[in-house]
Amino acid sequence: MKSEILRALRESDGEFVSGQTLCEKAGVTRQAVWKNMVQLKDHGFIIESVPNKGYSLISSPDKLYSADIKSRMKRDSFCQKIESYDITDSTNTRAKHLAELGEEEGTLVIAEEQTSGKGRRGREWKSEPMTSIYMSIILRPKISPIHVSGITLLAALAVVKAIKKTCDVEPLIKWPNDIILGKRKICGILTEMSSELDYINYAVVGIGINVNNKRFPANIKDKATSIYLETEKKQDRAQLAALTAQYFGEYYKKFIEAKSLEPFTIEYNGLLINRNQEVKIFYGMQENAEANKIETGIARGINGDGALIVDTKNGTECVVSGEVSVRGLYGYV
């Protein structure tokens, strides 16, 4: 109900909305509207109320609050249920736990802070409170487990689209799923799944976006940045989270129908920072020269399976995510 009230206030573009209109839109009594207004104000929403005119939303708090995020999505959005936490261990872990308990596809778990944020390849994902976005979406895709990596690439597309729309900047993608702004990483994506040989019980796509971070620890500051640091503008986290989830749902539905990334390759390849660039391919889990077989080549783009096509001196290779990592010749991108 709070999300319907917030939606109605937002849709009025600063005009007052009468109590009666809010009752009709939210499908509740005047008393219920009033009670919810008090609770929204307690959450930090500034709402002006004037007798005989109604209510007007002056400002929203910088918080990732489920009703607020929902009010910014389309009504028929893929993420119908949102669980927001001030603090959790990891939104991926939380989402997997909910999925084990039977939670439906499309449920979004989002948090202000993570105490055990997880990155790819078993790394830690530093999770500073109240500055970033940590979100995970529960999925139950009816596809073969071998195609699950495609979901990560779709999440990358959704993040880029949402950042462009909300923050008015043009990020790019470092294959398979790092989002880059000003040559450094602003977002990472981690997809995890529980599956049988030929069947996915559930998958969880986890997205971490560095939004308003002002600094990074010494060990990652050469590689990581935030949208704030690149734009010098504080960004609207709730709007960015809502659009990311909204767009992800739209891409995902299309992917499940097509059972392929073919419909997305042109868009993805247009955003690929490595396209037509010389890259180093590391075969194995470690990105250091000693532990791996390394090859260099020119990255051409992804194919319909999400593999990166690389022209090497030995011919064209289709590099599959999970088995390798790719770097620029002289640094991270």
Question: Which single residue brings its beta carbon nearest to ligand BTN?
Answer: 188
Question: Smallest distance from the beta carbon of 273 to ligand BTN, in angstroms?
Answer: 15
The strand pair at 178-181 and 82-85 is best described as unpaired
Burial of 154 (0-12, 13-18, 19+ CB in 10 A): buried
d(CA 223, CA 261): 28
Question: Smallest distance from the beta carbon of 8 to ligand BTN, in angstroms?
Answer: 31
103, 91 Cβ separation under 8 angstroms: no
Residues paired with residue 281 on neighbouring β-strands, in sequence order? 295, 326
**Nearer to ligand BTN (CB atom), residue 54 or residue 106:** 106
Question: Smallest distance from the beta carbon of 206 to ligand BTN, in angstroms?
Answer: 3
**Nearer to ligand BTN (CB atom), residue 16 or residue 85:** 85
Burial of 311 (0-12, 13-18, 19+ CB in 10 A): middle
**Nearer to ligand BTN (CB atom), residue 9 or residue 187:** 187
**Nearer to ligand BTN (CB atom), residue 57 or residue 271:** 271
Question: Smallest distance from the beta carbon of 205 to ligand BTN, in angstroms?
Answer: 9
**Nearer to ligand BTN (CB atom), residue 134 or residue 216:** 134
Question: Smallest distance from the beta carbon of 20 to ligand BTN, in angstroms?
Answer: 41
Q: Applying CB under 6 A, which residues contact ligand BTN?
A: 90-92, 114, 117-120, 123, 125, 134-136, 178, 188-190, 206-208
